Chains A and B, each alone.
Chain A
Amino acid sequence: DAGVTQSPTHLIKTRGQQVTLRCSPKSGHDTVSWYQQALGQGPQFIFQYYEEEERQRGNFPDRFSGHQFPNYSSELNVNALLLGDSALYLCASTGLAGTDTQYFGPGTRLTVL
């Protein structure tokens, strides 16, 4: 039973560029959430996708956007990258339409130079 997978593992970008991160949920899960974890901090909720729509969003600017595909996988897009966007980006999946425990992927480490 495959767990949550994320790609790529590491990514280096420069300020102003755009980036796309990818996530495949755990088998049987239909909901994907994205979190940003800055160094030395706990994860902060970005948004959650269910039935291919964003249904809840945290306190993040519109530069952060996402998408969910019919197979429940998801993408996180960040435009106009800032140095402060450097962080570990975690994807979490859950079943039962988002009401169950969230299981996390290994994360993507984004460095913005």
Chain B
Amino acid sequence: AQTVTQSQPEMSVQEAETVTLSCTYDTSENNYYLFWYKQPPSRQMILVIRQEAYKQQNATENRFSVNFQKAAKSFSLKISDSQLGDTAMYFCAFMIPVYSGAGSYQLTFGKGTKLSVIP
């Protein structure tokens, strides 16, 4: 079974500073997708960034970037120039595409990291 571990239950960062959230996962598959989702107090789960395992280049979306280390099974999220609106729960998620050997249609989530941005 695939597992996702987020070892930091809570983190805080000063506004305009940079913060990195950690995520590790366990799988024997070679082809998979990794995601970071953000869930603010409004509860809406919002996609932040997506990474395909076959891509060597790390994904970036504006102030958000990932450090994907496939051999170490690590997928960290870096938020630059933190803003008050970044305050939220951040979930790392994992999916093996259905066309792979052990593929499925479900996302497997970690327990989340609560990020607070301090003015």
Contacts and interface: CB of A to CB of B under 8 A. Distances in A.
A43 to B, nearest CB: 5
B68 interface: no
A56 B33 CA distance: 18
Contacts of B44: 104-107
B55 interface: no
25 contacts: A31-B105, A35-B107, A41-B111, A42-B109, A42-B111, A43-B45, A43-B107, A43-B109, A44-B109, A45-B108, A48-B105, A48-B106, A56-B105, A92-B45, A92-B107, A99-B98, A99-B105, A101-B33, A103-B47, A104-B37, A104-B46, A106-B43, A106-B44, A107-B44, A107-B45
Interface of A: 31, 33, 35, 40-45, 48, 55-56, 58, 88, 90, 92, 98-99, 101-107, 109
